[in-house]
Homo-oligomer: A and B are copies of this chain.
């Protein structure tokens, strides 16, 4: 049996299951402070005989195995979790292999293994919700270099009708600052769910996301792009992306049929927790992180 944790900013999803994504049991635990949340996480897994645990965590996190702070959450604005030794805490209760990556890299792994990019050695998973983050599988491995990607904060050019200042505390009007859920809400004065019929809202959203996708395509050349997160439940955003992306690329790179190339998660909301199960399996097998093809 494998354990999986999808650690998000508002809730932890914990599950036990297998590497094929079959889940035997799952619970949600609110993300409050480590001293409250983590004992409940540990207690959940203590009920089972598990061989490994995979963690997909909100970030930024330290994924460099050579680093003294490997396995920690680092400079998060959630101060209670800053510099929190996540992997070590789990290891203190369970002497088993632990896999650890970002939540979005876990989701990319889930989608590449069992979801919309199943059978491909390359995909990009983007979530557009409270923030914007992305993970990627490149030649069968989770993308990682000096650290994990932080793709949500790239710069975009402003839509000519957009006077909103932007919401990112670091960059104001980077992609996340202009296109994440809280920016949409502040710009238009309503929550996204109340803006469903407002075409200009989703047209602008697609305008920004298409620029981001152009950059991701030119830099990473993913074989499949998967867009998840609450904002992407507004299907008009896909329509706007399909319109703007070819205008931007302008024939420079030949793209597959867009409705087949840029898609919703095949695993729905379960991409992250499924990816965490696969991270557990890889940790158990002393895996290199390479997908079995």
Q: Which residues of A contact B (CB under 8 A)?
A: 60, 75, 122, 138-139, 141, 143-151, 153-157, 170-171, 211, 214-216, 218-223, 248, 250-254, 256
Q: In the assembly, what is the distance between CA of A246 and CA of B175, in Å?
A: 18
Taking CB atoms, residues of chain B closer than 8 Å to A153 are: 218, 252
Taking CB atoms, residues of chain B closer than 8 Å to A252 are: 150, 153, 170-171
Q: Which of B141, B150, B218, B254 contacts A151 (CB 8 A)?
A: B218
Taking CB atoms, residues of chain B closer than 8 Å to A221 are: 143-150
Q: Which of B138, B151, B156, B251 contacts A138 (CB 8 A)?
A: B138
Are B138 and A170 in contact, CB atoms less than 8 angstroms apart? no
Are A215 and B154 in contact, CB atoms less than 8 angstroms apart? yes
Determine how many copies of this chain the complex contains.
2
Q: Which of A146, A153, A215, A221 is packed against the most chain B CB atoms within 10 Å?
A: A146
Q: Which of B139, B141, B251, B253 contacts A147 (CB 8 A)?
A: B253
CB of A5 to closest CB in B, whole Å? 23
By Cβ-Cβ distance, the 9 closest A-B pairs, closest first, are: A145-B221, A122-B145, A170-B252, A146-B221, A170-B250, A150-B218, A146-B223, A219-B219, A154-B215
Taking CB atoms, residues of chain B closer than 8 Å to A145 are: 122, 138-139, 220-223
Are B143 and A220 in contact, CB atoms less than 8 angstroms apart? yes
Are B253 and A150 in contact, CB atoms less than 8 angstroms apart? yes
Q: In the assembly, what is the distance between CA of A144 and CA of B221, in Å?
A: 7
Are A215 and B211 in contact, CB atoms less than 8 angstroms apart? no
Known: A145-B221, A151-B219. 16 other contacts (CB 8 A): A75-B254, A138-B138, A138-B145, A139-B141, A144-B221, A146-B222, A146-B256, A150-B218, A150-B221, A150-B252, A150-B253, A153-B218, A154-B214, A155-B215, A171-B250, A220-B220
Closest to A138 in B: B138
Taking CB atoms, residues of chain B closer than 8 Å to A214 are: 154-155
Q: In the assembly, what is the distance between CA of A250 and CA of B214, in Å?
A: 23
Taking CB atoms, residues of chain B closer than 8 Å to A218 are: 149-151, 153-154
Are A211 and B139 in contact, CB atoms less than 8 angstroms apart? no
Q: Which of B220, B223, B251, B254 contacts A219 (CB 8 A)?
A: B220
CB of A152 to closest CB in B, whole Å? 8
Taking CB atoms, residues of chain B closer than 8 Å to A144 are: 139, 221
Q: In the assembly, what is the distance between CA of A146 and CA of B253, in Å?
A: 10
Taking CB atoms, residues of chain B closer than 8 Å to A222 are: 145-146
Are B148 and A251 in contact, CB atoms less than 8 angstroms apart? no
Closest to A148 in B: B221
Q: Which of A171, A211, A222 is packed against the most chain B CB atoms within 10 Å?
A: A171
CB of A287 to closest CB in B, whole Å? 13
